[in-house]
Amino acid sequence: MIPVSGFVGPVRAKYEWPVTIRDYSCSVSPELVWRRCMVAPVIATELAADAAAHTADTMTWGQTIVLSIVQGLTEFLPVSSSGHLRIVSELLYGHDAGASFTAVVQLGTEAAVLVYFAKEIWTIIRSWCIGLVNKEKRDFYYRMGWMVIFGTIPVGVLGFLGKDLIRENLRNLWITAGVLVAFSFVFIWAEKVGSKKRGYDELTMRDAILMGFAQCLALIPGVSRSGGTISAGLFLGLNREVAAKFSFLLAIPAVLASGLFSLPDAFAPEAGQAATGAQLLVGTVIAFVLGYASIAWLLKFVSNNSFSWFAAYRIPVGILVMILLATGVLAA
């Protein structure tokens, strides 16, 4: 008895048949010929299809590491980390890793924000808690606590209500490529019309709410969370460094909630590929290290450089993806 399962790796065989190894040079039974010539190829084809499906539904370690590097490098840059993950995943591996994997690995980059701005975040939390019970202690950081809370509400509500649309329909690569190009002109416009004169202590609740609504645009791959909120900040007259800093702080509650909410789905996603706990952990650590470096670099870069430089990168990338889609190299 030779079981088929010995040849199919992780796929559990559905079939086995009795085959006796002997020399059939003199006589061969018709039944045996039928089994070997007709049934065996059919079974082998089906098993190969099962193996391919298994591979397509699960992430490899190489894929996990590459996509985590992409996440860490692009999360805080206004180039759209989710858009880059979608493009790289399809281009290199032929499969969409899925929104759930992205949301979980983003926990690493948000942990980088928590560490980088730890002192300021602690000041905001402490002042907010004290201000709740003592009106005389309500300073700027107390108000900042409320700004982050109210600025998070729009994306929290929209993200929860539209989670199925976000995970499936909006991840079309034509949408991602088109948005990469179109939203680049928003960067250019914001740089052109924004006064860039208002400082950190001039932030208001109005700024927080408007930047919070701009953060909702990041639910569409290709927009960029930081790109949407920073552009809104520039339109409101904030200087680049303040707009970027508040963008990072504003993203913390939304991204942490999204990552924790998506954690169970990452192991058995309705759309995209599944990852193991070890893969998600390693991916999160990689994203944390590279995310921390990206924050430091971006804050230094924007102090003396225009955000239009990122538009100069996004537009060619978006056009290239459209060409690859049109020629069939990439599947939408």
Beta carbons within 8 Å of 272's beta carbon, 6+ residues apart: 95, 96, 97, 98, 99, 100, 101, 167
- Domain contains 181: yes
Helices (H) and strands (E) in the chain, counts: 15, 2
Whether residue 52 has pLDDT greater than 80: no
Are 75 and 188 found together in one domain?
A: yes
| Listed residues 55, 79, 100: the one ending a domain | 55
Q: Are the C-beta atoms of residues 253 and 148 closer than 8 Å to each other?
A: yes
The answer to whether residue 91 sits within a structural domain is: yes
Domain presence at residue 85: yes
In single-letter form, the type of residue at position 48 comes to A
- Give yes or no: residues 146 and 91 share one domain: yes
Question: Do 181 and 105 share a structural domain?
Answer: yes
Inside any domain, residue 275: yes
Asked if residue 31 belongs to a domain, the reply is yes
Domain co-membership, 19 together with 134: no
Give the model's pLDDT for residue 93: 86
Mean pLDDT to the nearest integer, 88-116: 84
* Sequence letter at residue 312: A
pLDDT band, very low/low/confident/very high, at 177 (cuts 50, 70, 90): very high
Cβ-in-10-Å burial (0-12, 13-18, 19+) of 7 comes to: exposed
The pLDDT score that the predictor gives to residue 159 is 80
Question: Is residue 168 over pLDDT 80?
Answer: no
230 with 299, same domain? Answer: yes
27 shares a domain with 78: no
DSSP reduced 3-state for 238: strand
Check whether residue 98 and residue 46 sit in a common domain. no
Task: Classify residue 332: in a domain, yes or no.
Answer: no
- Looking at the structure, do residues 175 and 216 belong to the same domain, yes or no? yes
Percentage of the chain lying above the pLDDT 90 cut: 48
Q: Are 51 and 36 part of one and the same domain? A: yes
Q: Are residues 30 and 80 in the same domain?
A: no
pLDDT at residue 18 is higher than 90? no
Residue 238 lies in a domain: yes
The boundaries of the domain holding residue 244 are 60-326
| Residue 331 within any structural domain of the chain | no
pTM of the predicted structure, to 2 decimals: 0.75
What value does the mean pLDDT take over residues 185-207?
Answer: 94
Task: Tell me the C-alpha distance between 87 and 83, whole Å.
Answer: 6
What is the DSSP-derived secondary structure letter of residue 195? -
State residue 36's pLDDT score. Answer: 52
pLDDT band for position 181 (50/70/90)?
A: very high
Which pLDDT band, with edges at 50, 70 and 90, does 75 fall under?
confident
Q: Residue 21's pLDDT band (boundaries 50, 70, 90)?
A: very low
Q: Given a cut of 70, is residue 116 above it in pLDDT?
A: yes
**Mean per-residue pLDDT, 118-125:** 95
Q: Which of 319, 322, 266, 220 is nearest to 58 (CA)?
A: 266
Residues 37 and 144 in one domain: no
The predicted pLDDT at position 22 comes to 44
User: What total of structural domains would you count in the chain?
Assistant: 2
